Structure 1
Amino acid sequence: MKVIEAMGVGITQAEFAAVIGVSEAKVSQLVAEGVIERGQSAHAWLLAYCERLREVAAGRASGELGGLDLVQERAALARSQREAQEIKNAVARGEFAPIGLLADVLGMASSAVVDRFEQLEGALRKACPDLPDQAKATLQQVIANARNEWIRSTEKLVASELDRMSREADEDESADDGAALEDHTEATT
């Protein structure tokens, strides 16, 4: 092919696409990404293209292979594996239980307390039939306030714990992205 003979001179994107077996649109994308630069020789384009292929194949560069960014995918996999191991360790230490189980336990405990509070009025009538209505009302108001505060405190505790977990996950993700960038930087230098 005459293009191979003229490797030391300029080349069009269409000619380069024919040489490397890709579409002209892909060559345009390579130019836009800065992989190859306009005005360089065919030889320089070929070297740059081959270097890009080696970097992507080695996982040191992000490449659009099937829509996946290999560097980010590896970082996400490493993060998932680390989180899974952390959960296993927490379970083994007895520091972790599934949120659904914790919610069920908290719900049952709350129901038991509410049931007892609702029985209080009848128990007071039996135990203290001559207790003034004002005293009964005050006692029930104090208990209702305590129950409502329990519910607010529980909701606040759950919300703050979810916020803390979310912040930790964001920090872990940022750290993993930074580590992946560090790995990528080290690999390319």
Structure 2
Amino acid sequence: MSDRDLTKPMTQADFGSLVGISQQAVGNLVGRGVLDTSAPGLQVLHAYCSHLREQAAGRAASGDLDLATERAGLAREQRIRVALQNAVSLKELAPVALLEEVLSKAGARIAGMLDAIPGGVRRRVPALSAEEISTIGAEIARVRNIVAAMSLADLRDEEATDDVDESTEEEIDP
């Protein structure tokens, strides 16, 4: 090493020569705020060594990227991808389009069953008047319309699953 005085500020070219990098590389480090060449040379050397240690440890990378954070993010995404693949293979997860198709078919079958109730009641209880059968049919239609208007948000809402809507609690006198 030459007889440089590290207690005084150094030029970028002198510091680059001291550590074995170009003046442009020093200028880049100064521009990114890693080094302050107006500080004493020893302080700049310590900052440069600290920067190198951070890079070697993977805690800092060039630019605004933080290598450790990026690696952790990638590992998290890979963990999620594997968990989703496992859920699909265990048949715990299905595509939304398939679920929509199944629910649509189930809803259509249930609607057909509900529509058959007034006729079944008429056959089993012939003493009921046409008006009473019509009231049963209207009540079934009202409930079917409520179910048809439900959305995913309604199904997720705890109050919708725990509390029955009071308007559906109307009693029909036999």
The TM-score range, normalised by the shorter chain, is 0.5 to 0.7
Aligned length: 151
1:165 is aligned to none
Counterparts in 2 of 1:28 and 1:155: CA distance versus 1, 3 Å: closer
Q: CA deviation at 1:95?
A: 2.3
The alignment status of 1:106 with 2:109, answered yes or no, reads no
Q: Match for 2:30 among 27, 31, 53?
A: 27
- The correspondence of residues 1-189 of structure 1 with structure 2, limited to 5 A, is 5-11=4-10, 19-22=22-25, 24=27, 26-30=29-33, 35-36=34-35, 40-59=39-58, 61-65=59-63, 68-117=65-114, 132-151=129-148, 152=150, 155-157=153-155, 159=156
Q: Distance in 2 between matches of 1:53 and 1:98?
A: 48
The one-letter code of the counterpart of 1:54 is R
* TM-score normalised per structure 1: 0.56
Instruction: State the one-letter code of the partner of 2:69.
Output: Q
Partners of 1:75 and 1:28 lie apart in 2 by 28
Deviation at 1:136, TM superposition (A): 3.6
Relative to the length of structure 2, the TM-score reads 0.59
Residue 63 (structure 1) shift: 3.1
Of all paired residues, the percent bearing the same amino acid is 32
User: Cα RMSD over matched residues?
Assistant: 4.1
Which residue type is aligned with residue 68 of structure 1? L
How far the C-alpha of 1:143 sits from its partner, in A, is: 1.4
Residue 77 of structure 1 deviates from its aligned partner by 0.9
Counterparts in 2 of 1:95 and 1:13: CA distance versus 1, 3 Å: same
Which is greater in Rg?
A: 2
- Check conservation: 1:16, 1:27, Cα contact below 8 A: no
Contact 1:6 1:42 in 2 (8 A): yes
The structure richer in helix per residue is: 1
After TM superposition, give the deviation of residue 74 of structure 1 in Å: 1.1
Contact 2:115/2:140 (8 A) holds in 1: no
The 3 A distance-change label for structure 1 pair 129 and 37 is: same
Cα displacement (A) at 1:10: 1.1
Q: Which runs of 5 or more structure 2 residues have no equivalent in the other structure?
A: 159-174
CA distance in 1, matches of 2:65, 2:138: 61
Q: How far apart are 1:150 and its partner, in Å?
A: 3.1
Hey, what's the Cα distance between the residues in 2 that align with 1:109 and 1:129? 31
Unaligned 5+ residue runs, structure 1? 162-189
Offset, 1:117: 4.3
